[in-house]
Amino acid sequence: MSALESFQKWLQEEIGEDIVSKGEFENGWWTTFAQVGSIEKVSEKYVALVENDLEGVDKRINRLIKSGENLISFVKTLDGVESREGLLQNFSKYFENFVDFCVSLWACYYLVEAVEAAIQKEVVLKYGDGKSLLVISSISTPLKKASIIRLTDKLSSQVSFEEKVEFMVENFAYIGSTDPFEKPFGRVEVENYVRGFSGSEEKVEVEEVDSSLLDPKLVLVYQKLLWVKDLRDELRRDAFYLAYPFLKKVSTAFGLSVLELGNFLPAELTELSENWTANEVEVKKLISDRKKAIVATYDGEFTIISGGKAYDMIHENDSDVNLVSEFKGKVGCLGKVEGEVYVLKSEKDIANFPAGAVLVATTTNPNYLPAMNKAIAFVTDEGGITSHAAIVARELGVPCIVGCKVAMKVLKSGDKVEVDAEKGIVRRIGNGQN
């Protein structure tokens, strides 16, 4: 629920007023909504910032880096507290620090959209629409190499399997920590991760293009954002990895698993802790309900609905979505293929991804690479031309459409689709049986 609280704080900071917002949680994903017109206001503000104040954009990027570093510094201070009261206080502070980091994440997410739009506009103006993807690919080199890129380079190299595993264990123990309440990778998970890179395709060489017609300051900010997109993920995972022993200590103090602890806000845990034994039935029901689904709303204060009622609210318009057979997104990499869909609802589905399928997901991150190396196309609900899916697609030469918004609702595993990444259109041409 830190996603919704940070979303609300970010909107208040940017617009200067309370905005009605809502978050839906199911299958490990939060979907966040805002009052009509509020996101458009922020987007317009960011577009103007990119056009008129690139130094202001840079300051916001640096704020994200600093808040991530502050989060990691704070997490390193969590050892040593043993009392239940002290653990609760630190749990609350950890949540507050993470929310502050997430405020900067929201800003970065929408700044990326504004900078992408500015880059696309300038590229089309200077080079024409026909060469836009080629020019964008040629300048899409991060300002610096984030650690995850170094890991990818190592795992794609010709060194032995054992060397790759040791390198990852020593330098990237945090790579599997995509959720603060999920257990970090052990050696078995690291070995499976490394195996996912075996037999991956050679990267497609990007044709060099003279990009001197573009504004060098805009290109520099664009390339810094490409670096920070990887860095922000690295900072988040590192903080989660370092905080896990502390969260385990908190959960043990309350007789919970770490995953069960993730169902509680700090304030809720504090209130229930005053008479934990008497509240045992309420605690178990809350955990059971929130595992199923959550709908959280902010309208001056937060209201949380969970369980079957929340599930019904999330799926009340499913019948309308089932009528959709075609939808659009942004082209991440050119190409056109037909194939069978495999939906990745969570990272747990990655190991079962079949070779030759069309990968459909909310978004992707480096953990998805084992599946991406076997896919014939990528379709994601989130992202733009600088998204992880789009960048990997261009490296592998795989058709890719991002920012579809409805793919995860419209498509199911087994559906046959045409991915037309020339026009940015996904068409369902056959219904699956799975």
Mean pLDDT (the chain, rounded):
88
Task: Give the Cα separation of 14 and 34 in Å (integer).
Answer: 13
Q: What is the pLDDT of residue 203?
A: 54
Asked whether the predicted pLDDT for residue 202 surpasses 80, the reply is no
- CB-side neighbour CA atoms (13 Å) of 80: 4
Task: Give the Cα separation of 156 and 381 in Å (integer).
Answer: 27
According to DSSP, residue 212 is labeled: T
Asked whether the predicted pLDDT for residue 209 surpasses 60, the reply is yes
Q: What is the pLDDT of residue 197?
A: 66
DSSP-derived pairing of the beta strands 358-361 and 336-344: parallel
CB 180 within 8 A of CB 240: yes
Asked whether the predicted pLDDT for residue 199 surpasses 50, the reply is no
Query: Would you place residue 131 in the very low, low, confident or very high pLDDT band (cuts 50, 70, 90)?
Result: confident
Question: What strands, in cross-sheet order, belong to the sheet with 377-380?
Answer: 326-328, 425-430, 416-420, 336-344, 358-361, 377-380, 400-402, 330-333
Average pLDDT over residues 195-219: 72
Please give the CATH superfamily to which domain 321-430 belongs: Phosphohistidine domain (3.50.30.10)
Start-to-end CA distance of the chain, whole Å, equals 31
- The position carrying tokens 């790579």 is 175
Average pLDDT over residues 247-265: 93
Q: What is the pLDDT of residue 302?
A: 86
The kind and range of the H/E element at 302 are strand 302-306
Q: What percent of the chain has pLDDT over 70?
A: 96
80: which residues sit within 8 A by CB, 6+ positions away?
Answer: none
CB 137 within 8 A of CB 394: yes
pLDDT tens, 85-100?
999 999 999 999 999 9
Average pLDDT over residues 288-313: 90
Question: What strands, in cross-sheet order, belong to the sheet with 29-34?
Answer: 29-34, 21-26, 294-298, 302-306
Query: Would you place residue 200 in the very low, low, confident or very high pLDDT band (cuts 50, 70, 90)?
Result: very low
Task: Give the Cα separation of 216 and 220 in Å (integer).
Answer: 6
Longest dimension (CA), the chain: 70
Could you tell me which residue, 29 or 236, shows the higher pLDDT? 236
Q: Where are the domains of the chain?
A: 2-116+215-311, 321-430
pLDDT tens, 387-428?
889 988 988 889 999 999 899 989 999 999 999 999 999 999
Task: Give the Cα separation of 244 and 346 in Å (integer).
Answer: 20
